[in-house]
Amino acid sequence: MNKLELTQLNKHYGKKHALKDFSFTFTNGVYGLLGPNGAGKSTLMHLITDNLKPDKDGGVVKWNGKPITELGKLYRSHLGFMPQQQELYSNMTAGVFLGYIAALKGIPRKTAQHEIAVALDKMELSDVADKKMGGFSGGMKQRVLIASAILGDPDLIIMDEPTAGLDPKQRVIIRHLTKQLAENKIIIISTHIVSDIETIAKEILMIQSGKLLIHGTVPELVCHVKQGEPTLENLYMQYYGGQ
């Protein structure tokens, strides 16, 4: 069982206090980080991936009991990160792009092709491996990015707004594929779209202004709805309004 522990994390950008005394422990399963844009979700994910450092004396991130600052490359070998959708190399094929990512991850050449084939198969992209990504739909591009995150079979997968800009059908596909990946892994998904995570998340964390407002399973959370039907969507509206 993997364990990711966040203890009293704080992050400032100048005078802005973007993350405030954030503590939580993740174990295997899918977790949703729910909140409007600017809530602190991306800051939290960049701290978990070690792309950002906490404030001085601003808390610690531990992987299986050890600070990630001490684990260094060993921690990164357990980690897969999908950032928010970015412009992919339009003249590059999906297979070549994943080969490039595999090289960046330090995956040996003798195993890289197998890892790439596995990732493409899991994301249902094997049939377009040799096609240029410039002709891909938004959903296909998102699946390529998820494939890049799962290269090397990491134990911890972070996804930042994986369905941003996609239509409902494509969001369902991404949700289904994510659920299939979750066995024996920690998967953390940042989103502001309730339906993306309410049916697959082991637990949901609701964040606002850098603080953890509330967390729990969907049945536990909907008990806090004060008006209307006890749904996660109504709880979201209760905390965030139209944000």
Q: Report the amino acid identity of residue 195.
A: S
Rounded CA separation 21/28 (Å): 23
Please give the mean pLDDT across all residues of the chain.
91
For 45-58, what is each residue's pLDDT tens digit? 999 999 899 999 88
For 200-235, what is each residue's pLDDT tens digit? 999 999 999 999 999 999 999 999 999 889 999 999
Q: Are 125 and 147 in contact (CB under 8 A)?
A: yes
Rounded CA separation 34/243 (Å): 12
More confident residue, 237 or 180: 237
Q: What integer pLDDT is reported at residue 217 of this predicted model? A: 96
Q: What integer pLDDT is reported at residue 243 of this predicted model? A: 60
With 0-12 / 13-18 / 19 or more C-beta atoms within 10 angstroms meaning exposed / middle / buried, residue 234 is middle
Taking CA atoms, 173 is separated from 62, 108, 132, in Å, by 32, 31, 21
Q: What integer pLDDT is reported at residue 211 of this predicted model? A: 95
Q: Where in the chain is the domain with CATH 3.40.50.300?
A: 1-78+155-169+184-243
pTM: 0.91
Taking CA atoms, 195 is separated from 34, 131, 147, 175, 223, in Å, by 11, 31, 22, 9, 18
Q: What integer pLDDT is reported at residue 6 of this predicted model? A: 97
Q: Any idea which fold 1-78+155-169+184-243 has?
A: Rossmann fold (3.40.50)
Q: What integer pLDDT is reported at residue 83 of this predicted model? A: 84
Question: Within 10 Å of residue 69's Cβ, how many Cβ atoms?
Answer: 13
Q: Is the dihedral of CA 212, 218, 224, 227 positive or negative?
A: positive
For the record, the structure tokens of 77 come out as 């070998």
Strand order in the sheet with 66-67: 16-27, 3-13, 60-63, 66-67
Question: Within 10 Å of residue 201's Cβ, how many Cβ atoms?
Answer: 25
Backbone angles phi, psi at 215, to 5 degrees: -150, 160
